[in-house]
């Protein structure tokens, strides 16, 4: 199972590495969620018919800051942990966590370090780590999501934490060769994985009690948001939105459908939608073809904001890919975009990401007012 997850992660990384090649600026979709963001999700008013709703929208985090679960958590070092390297488990002893680089495809590891209360130990960041407090750290990835060993070594870290989703892996191994402690953690692009990551990273820091605090907080926040989304989403399975996630990099000619084990399936399920990729048996990443798009016929398409901008926005995408224009989502121009470093970042902000996406998908234009829908029949 670990090898399968790693293979999927590396395929996704190969596509995401083209991020640096994307041209153009950030396009903000015309219908944002700021109006609905003024009230708790429990008070948001849903559109009358999600399938008939028209126009693009942008999911925006109400607050991108990550609040640590503890200040200056107690540690007990040294600690002996298992590093889940892609070619087998390795016993590692962690003696010093004073200077840390936590790197992965989505920025979730650094976010977890911050959420535990060890953010002051971070000395560098990957390109996906953009939350307040860490955004000014030196970037240790180059050419998209490729690791630059020299830039990491120059920061003199005492500990590197990764999940193997960015590489090349021989470059990561090179860090061990120069005496840096490297620990690989198992990670799944899922909400359960976000909870497990809190415990795993805390163990590396010799602070398991703090890990339990963060794991409990993340799990409780996700459960609460999912309950509110069940109130907004149609109760009847047949009325739920059919959703796909597209990865777009227009300047590089990259168009992919994200399937099972990419994290997109987790998002779609939690948002009360029907994961079309799962329904059709797609896993990992699938090159976008006209046949696949027509077969999927989604009601709504999730995309990364910079990816949408790279294809010229909704108009550019529909012009370049007529098959998308033929789908229900294309005819209704129903696209929801979110910042690249947020939409698939499973970690301490998982609940906030779901909250923002739910508002972009379900909130009416005057979502801060009106009569809330009946919560007696949540989606199952």
Mean pLDDT of 129-154: 87
Rounded distance between C-alpha atoms, residue 22 and residue 140, angstroms:
19
Query: Tokens 């992919």 appear where?
Result: 256
The confidence score (pLDDT) of residue 26 equals: 36
Strand partners, 249: 254
Rounded distance between C-alpha atoms, residue 126 and residue 262, angstroms:
19
Handedness of CA 294, 295, 299, 302 (dihedral sign): negative
Displacement of CA 282 from its chain's centroid (Å)? 19
Domains, in order of start, for the chain: 2-65+226-362 (3.40.50.1980), 79-218 (3.40.50.1980)
pLDDT for residue 187 is more than 90: no
* pTM for the predicted model, two decimal places: 0.87
Rounded distance between C-alpha atoms, residue 195 and residue 136, angstroms:
27
Q: At what angle do helices 191-204 and 108-116 cross, to 10 degrees?
A: 60
- CB within 8 A of 310, min separation 6: which ones? 22, 23, 24, 248, 249, 250, 251
Question: Which of 28-42, 334-348, 363-377 is predicted with the least confidence, judged by mean pLDDT?
Answer: 363-377
- Widest CA span in the chain: 62
Tokens of 298: 């989604």
Q: How confident is the model at residue 5 (pLDDT cuts 50, 70, 90)?
A: very low
- CB within 8 A of 300, min separation 6: which ones? 50, 241, 242, 243, 273, 329, 334, 335, 336, 361
The confidence score (pLDDT) of residue 32 equals: 42
The confidence score (pLDDT) of residue 364 equals: 76
Strand partners, 255: 248
Strand partners, 246: 257
The confidence score (pLDDT) of residue 250 equals: 85
Tokens of 27: 């396009």
- CB within 8 A of 165, min separation 6: which ones? 6, 9, 10, 12, 13, 104, 105, 106, 187
**Per-residue pLDDT tens over the stretch 193-226:** 999 999 999 999 999 999 999 999 999 999 999 9
**Number of helices (H) and strands (E), helices first, in the chain?**
15, 15
**Percent of the chain whose pLDDT exceeds 90:** 65
User: Which residue in 216, 220, 204, 222 sits closest to 73, CA to CA?
Assistant: 204
Query: Tokens 């990443």 appear where?
Result: 285
**Per-residue pLDDT tens over the stretch 272-293:** 999 999 888 888 888 899 999 9
pLDDT for residue 1 is more than 80: no
Mean of per-residue pLDDT scores for the chain: 86
């Amino acid at each position: 199972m670990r090898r399968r997850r790693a293979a999927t992660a590396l395929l996704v990384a190969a596509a995401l590495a083209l991020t640096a090649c994307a041209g153009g600026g950030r396009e903000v979709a015309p219908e944002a969620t700021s109006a609905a963001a003024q009230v708790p999700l429990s008070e948001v008013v849903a559109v009358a018919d999600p399938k008939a709703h028209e126009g693009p929208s942008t999911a925006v985090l109400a607050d991108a800051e990550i609040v640590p679960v503890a200040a200056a958590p107690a540690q007990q070092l040294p600690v002996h942990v298992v590093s889940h390297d892609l070619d087998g488990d390795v016993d590692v002893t962690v003696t010093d966590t004073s200077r840390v680089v936590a790197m992965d495809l989505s920025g979730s590891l650094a976010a977890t370090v911050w959420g535990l209360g060890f953010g002051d130990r971070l000395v560098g960041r990957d390109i996906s780590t953009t939350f307040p407090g860490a955004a000014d750290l030196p970037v240790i990835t180059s050419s998209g999501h490729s690791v630059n060993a020299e830039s990491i070594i120059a920061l003199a870290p005492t500990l590197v934490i990764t999940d193997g989703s960015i590489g090349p892996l021989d470059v990561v191994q090179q860090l061990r060769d120069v005496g840096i402690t490297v620990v690989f953690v198992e990670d799944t692009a899922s909400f359960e994985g976000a909870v497990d990551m809190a415990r795993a990273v805390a163990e590396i820091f010799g602070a398991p009690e703090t890990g339990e605090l963060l794991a409990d907080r993340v799990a409780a926040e996700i459960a609460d948001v999912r309950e509110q989304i069940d109130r907004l989403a149609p109760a009847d399975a047949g009325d739920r939105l059919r959703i796909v996630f597209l990865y777009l990099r227009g300047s590089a000619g990259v168009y992919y459908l994200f399937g099972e084990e990419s994290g997109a399936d987790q998002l779609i399920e939690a948002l009360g939608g029907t994961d079309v990729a799962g329904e059709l048996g797609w896993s990992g990443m699938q090159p976008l073809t006209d046949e696949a798009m027509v077969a999927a016929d989604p009601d709504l398409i999730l995309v990364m904001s910079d990816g949408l901008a790279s294809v010229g926005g909704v108009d550019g995408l529909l012009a370049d890919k007529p098959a998308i224009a033929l789908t229900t989502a294309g005819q209704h121009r129903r696209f929801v975009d979110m910042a690249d470093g947020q939409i698939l970042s499973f970690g301490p902000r998982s609940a906030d990401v779901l909250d923002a996406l739910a508002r972009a998908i379900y909130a009416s234009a005057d979502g801060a007012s009106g009569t809330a829908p009946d919560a007696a029949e949540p989606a199952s």
